[in-house]
Amino acid sequence: MPQTHGRRSRVAVVTGGASGIGEATCRHLAERNHRIAVLDLDGDGASRVAEELRAHGGEALGLTADVTDRPALDAAFAEIRATFGPAEILVTSAGLVAFDPFENITPERWSRLIDVNLTGTFHCCQAAVPDMVAARWGRIVTISSSSAQRGSPTMAHYAAAKGGVIVLTKSLARAYAPHGITVNSIPPSGIETPMQHRSQAEGDLPANEVMAGTIPLGHLGTPDDIAAAAAFLTSDEAGFITGQVLGVNGGAVL
């Protein structure tokens, strides 16, 4: 099995791997010599990222799946096992954001935000955990949101879903600690990604300079900032860290 810097090559699944934070996480994990399953609703994007990783000498597989579609996810995990072996690392970055005044949130929109962000994370964790239990080793990092830590006046659905992700993370950390599996969450804030750019284009978020002014470090973050933290939390070295919420947010006051 290939080794880099004395580290073992693992099988890593990254949801939302075709864009933004997920894409950067795929690159960081590939740099650690892991075999990467890039999973995304955007199948062309997942294939593109996997192809780029392979062009840089990595092993990667692009997969199309909606994290709300359990049969499709189970099929994707079966393909990952057949290609690379059991899942050892999972980073759940697939997410859907929305901005709505509370009284305008329809039950359908509420359900969709909960389905993608919270239930999608549940499905992915449940699909991956049996492999980790069997191996008596596993690393899960969920990508939540700072909106879950401070609340949000126009994102009650999204923030509630991401709050659920944080408590799911803490619950799984306690459930699976005896199996050698760590589960942590990173709640990003102010990270320049296609999702953020779309929200700015639609007038839901202010321009970069205004956002930067609210961040103690004085600038926005990059997908690499989150990916570096996720790569650490999924490493052997982070084996005594579980059930934690690691803010990567430029010192944002929550």
Report CA Rg, the chain.
17
Catalytic sites, residue numbers = 158
CB 72 within 8 A of CB 65: yes
Cβ neighbours of residue 118 closer than 8 Å, sequence gap 6 or more: 161, 162, 164, 165, 168
Q: Which of 7, 9, 31, 42 binds ligand NAP (CB under 6 A)?
A: 42
Per DSSP, the residues of 14-49 read EETTTSHHHHHHHHHHHHTT-EEEEEES-HHHHHHH
190 binds ligand NAP (CB under 6 A): yes
52 binds ligand NAP (CB under 6 A): no
Q: Which is nearer to ligand NAP, 62 or 120 (CB)?
A: 120
224 binds ligand NAP (CB under 6 A): no
191 binds ligand NAP (CB under 6 A): yes
**Residue 132 identity:** M
Piece of 19-27, 52-60, 123-131, 149-157 that binds ligand NAP (CB under 6 A): 19-27
CA distances, 89 to each of 34, 58, 159 (Å) = 9, 16, 25
Do β-strands 60-64 and 7-8 pair in parallel, antiparallel, or remain unpaired?
unpaired
Question: Least Å distance between CB 83 and ligand NAP?
Answer: 19
Question: Least Å distance between CB 137 and ligand NAP?
Answer: 25
Q: Which is nearer to ligand NAP, 62 or 95 (CB)?
A: 95
Question: Least Å distance between CB 144 and ligand NAP?
Answer: 7
93 binds ligand NAP (CB under 6 A): yes
Piece of 4-12, 173-181, 188-196, 227-235 that binds ligand NAP (CB under 6 A): 188-196
Q: Which of 32, 36, 45, 61 binds ligand NAP (CB under 6 A)?
A: 45
95 binds ligand NAP (CB under 6 A): yes
Piece of 81-89, 132-140, 190-198, 237-245 that binds ligand NAP (CB under 6 A): 190-198
d(CA 221, CA 208): 11
CB 28 within 8 A of CB 107: no
d(CA 120, CA 30): 24
Helices 20-31, 223-233: axis angle to 10 degrees equals 50
163 binds ligand NAP (CB under 6 A): no
List contacts with ligand NAP (CB under 6 A). Answer: 15-16, 18-22, 40-42, 45, 66-68, 93-97, 116, 120, 143, 145, 188-191, 193-196
